[in-house]
Amino acid sequence: MRLLTLAMILLSCVRAEAAYASEAHALTHDDLEAWLDGFMPFALQSGDLAGAAVVVVKDGQVLLKKGYGYSDVTSQRSMDPDTILVRPGSVSKLFTWIAVMQLVEQGKLDLHRDIHDYLDFRIESPFAKPITLQDLLTHRAGFEEALKSILMDDPKLIISTEEYLKTHQPPIIFAPGEVPAYSNYGAALAGYIVERVSGEPFDTYIERHILAPLDMTRSTFQQPLPEALAADMSKGYVTASQPPRPFELLITGPAGALSATPVDMAKFMTALLQAGRYGEAQILKPETVQLMYTPSVQRFADFATIAHGFFEERRNGRRILGHGGDSVVFHTDLNLLVDDGVGFFASFNSRGANDSNYATRGALFDAFIERYFPAAAKADDPAPGADAAEHARRIAGRYESSRRIASSFISVFYLLQQTIIIANPDGTIGVPTFPSYEPKPYREIAPFLWRELGGRHEVALVQHDGTKTVLIGDDPTSVLQPVPAWRSGGWNLYLLLASVVVLLCVTGQWAYAAVVRRIRGQSQPAVPHALLLETLPRVAAVFSLAYLVGWAVILSPSLDNHWAFYDATLDPVIRLLQIAGLVVVAGAGLSIYRSWHVLTHPGSWSTRIWSVLLMFGLLGILWVSLVVRFISFRLTY
């Protein structure tokens, strides 16, 4: 509720800016500072965010650099953009892609060549089509999402990117080049290729060929931080009112390990806006920079797309290229208005109450654009066509993101995150929408293209390989795909709940009956067949409930964003639960036999009813365990 309230307040600020679209403010230091001084303190306090830093460059100069809140809440150290380091997260990928393109310029890499030509190990794939560097750049290598060992907080447990890539390979679930599915593994793979082809460790390569030429002396990919920089690293918080988290060690270093001051990031943006040049240094040829800014994937309408490593979108008639970045506690956006010579960098050192940073970041840049680069007055959206209601019915359904974990126990979370699009009686559709993800009405503005009423978000329905696919206007990193009926989160969750209730009732009834028998001095039959039919199903019921509790304990740290919990030290526990799944299978099979025996032999109706209920309860647990991959023998996830 707090996030929804904050989102609504910030959205009203954006709409207030949009209301003055014909009165664009001049982008000057004084106007920008006055506006940010009004926006940022309220946003930090309302979202329980510790601190943030904003840097804006224009025409090759730093227009504004300013920190808000604290880099250390306890000591109340300020967020000084000159000295304090932040973690830009996946913005780090831009450095990796630039390194790739530098080697392309030198003829050492080919974007369209099979990556196995550059690797010393094989990527296992069910598809004959090779993966290319272009696929890695555009997040179309087909990799499933990966979680295990990607984030650690104990330096003693850290492993190299090379070891991670060779031992934690995620399954490939899409043919290369076909479906966007954002992949940290893929970006780390590109960084490893840079390391192998250049003959330099990745951190050293970035230092020598990008950071040093740009005079980014207070930036590094090294983990843990060098002693000279460690004292100036901002603390990272889930919320400002909680203690800070340990320094996050990103094992897929090329995908997100950069630490940098906001002022250093200003130098980086300046070089990108000046065709690869900063001072006397030229980190890329101008034509290579233009290639990186060129969409490498066919654009649908005005939807955001992927250039060569950058995300490219159109807003108010402006072309914007950039990248976002998120760890657990640091959250960052870098955006370049390349045709206007303007770069915008904002980094928050907190996740915020109810993940408020996402609403804050979105509203901050939206308001910046509306204030300084407003849209020209435009005509109202066209009226929906006669087929609007039919088109609404065709897009309606339950979807899952192409960026997902599908083959391990973490898939249970993706069962809970399925997107439901509904067809409304008036011909509009209801779509869960950022930042609150509450369903909002969208109206069709062209065949199979819908826009949010009173907003800018858009979705479209297309066919991909004969399957309907939903494109999200401002997210080029994934698409929404129909959920197979057997994996629907709706009825599977009800089935799980019903199965748990049934098993609790059945075990409760047995416990009650046992107490009654004890009071009456009655005894159970002691023959082996009776033991098989009575005692073992009870054990199976109790075991299945305990089995679910065990998985709940394993999954619970993720609810508090403790992703460092999931590393190789957890393997024995996960393996034990996986073996325990075989007992669940056996228990379900035994319950089927017991029900058959009870129904085909004389006995009371109450015995028959309880037996059938037990069978359905155990089969329900078994089914859901299979769907969410609790019953599996994979130790990569």
Say whether pLDDT at 252 is over 70.
Answer: yes
pLDDT at 14: 55
Say whether pLDDT at 8 is over 60.
Answer: no
Mean predicted confidence (pLDDT) in 518-535? 65
- 40 close to 53: Cβ distance less than 8 angstroms: no
Say whether pLDDT at 46 is over 60.
Answer: yes
Q: Say which residue, 19 or 489, is predicted with more confidence.
A: 489
pLDDT at 2: 53
- 417 close to 636: Cβ distance less than 8 angstroms: no
Which residues touch 217 (CB under 8 Å, ≥6 apart)?
211, 264
The contacts found for 10-17 with CB under 8 angstroms, 24 or more apart, are 10/43, 10/359, 10/360, 10/362, 10/363, 10/364, 10/367, 11/363, 13/39, 13/363, 13/367, 14/363, 14/366, 14/367, 14/370, 17/366, 17/367, 17/370, 17/371, 17/374
The Cα angle at residue 562 between residues 558 and 564, in degrees rounded to 5: 115
Say whether pLDDT at 307 is over 50.
Answer: yes
Give the mean pLDDT of the chain: 92
Burial classification of residue 530, based on how many CB atoms lie within 10 Å of its CB (0-12 exposed, 13-18 middle, 19 or more buried): exposed
Q: Say which residue, 253 or 531, is predicted with more confidence.
A: 253
Burial classification of residue 498, based on how many CB atoms lie within 10 Å of its CB (0-12 exposed, 13-18 middle, 19 or more buried): middle
pLDDT at 298: 83
* Measured distance CA(473)–CA(457) in Å, rounded: 6
**In this predicted structure, which of 57-61, 171-175, 482-486, 538-542 has the lowest mean pLDDT?**
538-542
What is the band of 18 on the pLDDT scale with cuts at 50, 70, 90? Answer: low
Say whether pLDDT at 70 is over 60.
Answer: yes
Beta bridge partners of 143: 172
Burial 295-330 (b: 16+ CB within 10 A, else e): bbbeeeeebbbbbbbbbbbebbeeebbbbbbbbbbb
What is the band of 527 on the pLDDT scale with cuts at 50, 70, 90? Answer: very low
Say whether pLDDT at 255 is over 70.
Answer: yes
Residue 502 CB-half CA count within 13 A: 21
Mean predicted confidence (pLDDT) in 575-588? 96
Beta bridge partners of 323: 334
Of 12, 25, 24, nearest to 377 by C-alpha is 24
pLDDT at 6: 56
Mean predicted confidence (pLDDT) in 305-317? 94
Which residues touch 503 (CB under 8 Å, ≥6 apart)?
541, 544, 545, 614, 617, 618, 621
What is the band of 597 on the pLDDT scale with cuts at 50, 70, 90? Answer: confident
Of 526, 574, 532, 581, nearest to 554 by C-alpha is 574
Of 79, 66, 401, 394, nearest to 240 by C-alpha is 79
Mean predicted confidence (pLDDT) in 411-415? 94
Q: What is the tens place of the pLDDT at every residue in 171-219?
A: 999 999 999 999 999 999 999 999 999 999 999 999 999 999 999 999 9
Say whether pLDDT at 516 is over 80.
Answer: no
pLDDT at 5: 55
What is the band of 465 on the pLDDT scale with cuts at 50, 70, 90? Answer: confident
Q: What is the tens place of the pLDDT at every residue in 322-377?
A: 999 999 999 999 999 999 999 999 999 999 999 999 999 999 999 999 999 999 87
Mean predicted confidence (pLDDT) in 9-18? 53
Say whether pLDDT at 533 is over 50.
Answer: yes
Q: Would you call 132 helix, strand, or coil by DSSP?
A: strand
Q: Which pTM value belongs to this model?
A: 0.93
